Amino acid sequence: MAEVKESRVNQLDAAALDEQLLSILYGRVNEALKYFKAGLFTRIRPELQALLKLVVWKLTLYSNGSTIGQNLLNLEYKHADSACSLSPRRAVLFAFLNVGLPWLKERLEDLVRPFATSEHMSKVRNGVEWIETTIKIGNMVNFLIFLQQGKYCLLSERVLRIRNMSSTVQPLRQVQNEYMNRELLWHGFAEFLTFVLPLINVHPIKNMLWRLIFSWKATPTSVEARTYADATHCAVCGKWPIIPYDIGCKHVYCYYCISSNVLAEERFRCPSCGVRANGINSLRPVSVISNPLLTG
């Protein structure tokens, strides 16, 4: 039977979710205890943390064989050799390694102090530091091996020979070729449009459609026929002309509006009367027109 390896990402995510859950519980407990006398629960902080871990362990790993993070990611602890569910004995040993030993590290000096001299206490501290350093090195080496092999995310898992395995049989995901072909075709077409559209000059197309639609009512005009009403709005944007220019007809344009259109289409036609411009040199400034809204 081929060995099935669970995703490294799922295993790391499950461990991170469990740590986040404990962090949230610690925060809620600290929030509830902040109204008591300051320092009242400081002395029993290791016991409170161990108690919370034991409660979570009892409700999750001991009862269901999986932590909350594993349950969310469809994982559970199983024996590495037989792929059997986690036994109560290994669950208790797991709690001892992950709950009991950290508590013992915090309380070892307090437990030994009544029975030891100062010299013995110094040796105890050195021994605790040495053991802690050894465990940190072991965790680092175990993590490097985990990244290579994908087994035993935690050092305690390697010691107890328990692994993260899928709790249910994962069905084979089948993707139909029609769906994949449609997606590939659409993405290819979208990339083609992204490349081609910036190369297309839309101004001539827009002006050509405008002439086709409204050419039946376009009558060429001259500058002599211009009235004050013609000079109060741009024939392109319809607003008060800013730096007014014309192309030889009675209509007036903002310099930006007419110059951008003429640069895009050299033979631009007036959208109102159809008079043709002859390049950017055909633009002529118009005398300053006072805006009654500004002067009044």
Per-residue model confidence as pLDDT tens digits over 130-182: 888 898 899 899 888 988 888 888 888 888 888 888 876 555 555 556 777 77
- pLDDT at residue 89 greater than cutoff 60: yes
Tokens found for residue 251: 């209509």
Q: Which residue has the higher pLDDT, 225 or 208?
A: 225
What pLDDT score was predicted for residue 141? 92
- pLDDT at residue 215 greater than cutoff 70: no
- pLDDT at residue 52 greater than cutoff 50: yes
Q: Which residue has the higher pLDDT, 32 or 24?
A: 24
Average pLDDT, the chain: 80
What pLDDT score was predicted for residue 214? 58
What pLDDT score was predicted for residue 293? 44
What's the average model confidence in pLDDT over 251-263?
88
The answer to whether 271 and 261 have CB atoms below 8 angstroms apart is no
What pLDDT score was predicted for residue 123? 83
> 162: which DSSP letter?
E
What pLDDT score was predicted for residue 2? 42
Q: List Cα–Cα distances, 196 to 44, 108, 147, 256, in angstroms.
A: 70, 73, 45, 26
What pLDDT score was predicted for residue 66? 86
Contacts of 246 (CB under 8 A, 6+ apart): 223, 252, 253, 258, 283, 284, 286
The answer to whether 93 and 131 have CB atoms below 8 angstroms apart is no
What pLDDT score was predicted for residue 80? 81
What's the average model confidence in pLDDT over 256-274?
83
Residue 1: pLDDT band (50, 70, 90) is very low
- pLDDT at residue 292 greater than cutoff 60: no
What is the distance between the alpha carbons of residues 190 and 4, in angstroms, rounded to a whole number? 39
What pLDDT score was predicted for residue 289? 58
Percent of the chain past pLDDT 70, that is, above it, reads 85
Residue 260: name the closest of 248, 272, 242, 274 by CA: 242
Identify any residues that bridge with 75 across adjacent strands, giving them in sequence order.
166
- Winning range, highest mean pLDDT, from 12-26, 221-235, 260-274: 12-26
Burial 131-144 (b: 16+ CB within 10 A, else e): eeeeeeeeeeebee
Residue 287: pLDDT band (50, 70, 90) is confident
What's the average model confidence in pLDDT over 224-232?
84
What pLDDT score was predicted for residue 216? 52
What's the average model confidence in pLDDT over 105-120?
79
